[in-house]
Structure 1
Amino acid sequence: MTLLLSMAAFALVSSITPGPVNLVALGSGARHGLRATLAHITGATAGFTLLLVLIGMGLYEVLIRWPLLTTGIRLAGVLYLLYLAWRLATDNGRLQAHGTSPRPTLLGGAAMQWLNPKAWLASLAGMGAFAADGDSGTVSRFALIYFVVCFVSIACWAVAGTYLQRHLDKAAGVRLFNRVMAVLLTLCAAGLLVE
């Protein structure tokens, strides 16, 4: 039981803390509401869980043998975060009529996790701590715990975003919100470069 609680605590700390996927969920919740953001939440959770399982079943060894691959993944993720930050910083803040602005998708949420250096680091650290031997039962239990905790954590960010909606009814408010999100994404990217 202690091992399961430790797994859950690790999953919570790494899932609920600010990161690019959570910031996108916050922004999508603010712009589109919780229901429309569920696709992003589900995709991000499934994408992360798949990454976690693959690392637990052997990808961990590949990355240990080829550390340059880990560096490449991290740099690609940082560049992606900076691209997202730039898009937010340059957005004009005008909400599209009838909610026609693009919403995060299931596939986009999953892909975002694969480009998210925080997800790679959490997967490597988690599997190294709890399932380094690659035992399929341990990997499965950890992945199931992580799936539930990750889904709830990302959903919390989206719910927080829905509470911001009433403050974002004018373009100036949206621009300010987007620029704050851009700064936070840039800080996430900078933090991942120094880890």
Structure 2
Amino acid sequence: MTPELLLAFVLFAFVTSVTPGPNNMMLLASGVNFGVRRSVPHMLGISLGFMVLVVAVGLGLGQLFETYPPLYTVLRYAGAAYLLYLAWKIANAGAPNGGEARGKPFSFLQAVAFQWVNPKAWIMAIGAITTYTPQENFLVNVVLIAALFALVNCPSVGLWTMAGSLLRHWLDNPRVLRLFNIGMALLLVASLYPVLSDL
């Protein structure tokens, strides 16, 4: 992998990781409702789960969808349904008891599993493998791309959690927090627009 291609990939990884999407909307809401410390497993689960997804796509999982297009359609429906469920959970979160939100943040394993139904994650993984992974020493390059993506991804998604945490003191009022959570849920649903318009 040339230095130019590596630099281009790191820029791609940063831009796709830091821009709004389902993971970042959920982390912003998690930062507000639970704070940074309690959201760390969620952040790590996103980065490591996405790394595993990139490796799986590089090892041929993406080809499976090309061979069996109905499988991809099933994944898209399942992912969209799960995102709508998560949006409902975020909209119904609140802070009635001393600022502690009802429910609990995503666990590490929940965040890892979520990457497999996250449409943006699939687009990012397929883009990374098809655009930035040279064919020579392909397996080594797949592992390198996946590891670099995880290294760039974790602090990028962490910015959203920190932003949410900084908003916590402005959202002490349960009504304001409820409106914020509803707004985050609507943004999460809006992030599904490209997927839902194709279904």
TM normalised by structure 1 equals 0.92
Match of 2:95 in 1: 94
Alignment pair present for 1:110 and 2:109: no
Distance of 2:87 and 2:103 partners within structure 1: 17
Evaluate the alpha carbon distance shift between residue 98 and residue 188 of structure 1 in structure 2; reply closer, same or farther with a 3 A threshold.
Answer: closer
Match of 2:129 in 1: 127
Match of 1:177 in 2: 180
SS of alignment partner, residue 102 of structure 1: coil
Q: Is the 8 A contact 2:24 2:160 kept in 1?
A: yes
Q: Percent identity?
A: 36
SS of alignment partner, residue 9 of structure 1: helix
Structure 1 residue 39: deviation in Å? Answer: 0.5
Match of 2:192 in 1: 189
Question: Residue type of the partner of 1:101?
Answer: G
Structure 1 residue 171: deviation in Å? Answer: 1.1
Question: Residue type of the partner of 1:113?
Answer: Q
Distance of 1:95 and 1:108 partners within structure 2: 25
How far does the alpha carbon of each residue in 1:132-187 deviate from its partner, in whole angstroms, 9 at most, with x for none? 74811111111111011110111010010011101121210111111110110110
Task: Choose 182-191 or 126-135, whichever is displaced more.
Answer: 126-135
Distance of 1:107 and 1:88 partners within structure 2: 18
Q: Please, which of 38, 41, 59 is the counterpart of residue 40 of structure 2? A: 38
Alignment pair present for 1:156 and 2:163: no
Question: Residue type of the partner of 2:194?
Answer: G
Structure 1 residue 189: deviation in Å? Answer: 1.3
Question: Residue type of the partner of 1:156?
Answer: L
Distance of 1:173 and 1:184 partners within structure 2: 16
Q: Please, which of 78, 81, 102 is the counterpart of residue 79 of structure 1? A: 81
Structure 1 residue 97: deviation in Å? Answer: 4.8
Q: How well do the aligned residues superpose, as a CA RMSD in angstroms? A: 1.8
Q: Is the 8 A contact 1:118 1:192 kept in 2?
A: no
Q: Which structure 2 residue ranges, 5 or more long, are not aligned?
A: none
Distance of 1:22 and 1:78 partners within structure 2: 16
TM normalised by structure 2 equals 0.90
Alignment pair present for 1:19 and 2:16: no
Q: Is the 8 A contact 1:93 1:173 kept in 2?
A: no
Distance of 1:35 and 1:92 partners within structure 2: 18
Match of 1:142 in 2: 145
Distance of 1:61 and 1:84 partners within structure 2: 29
Question: Residue type of the partner of 2:175?
Answer: A
Q: Is the 8 A contact 1:56 1:132 kept in 2?
A: no
Q: Is the 8 A contact 2:99 2:172 kept in 1?
A: no
Question: Residue type of the partner of 2:70?
Answer: L
Match of 2:54 in 1: 52
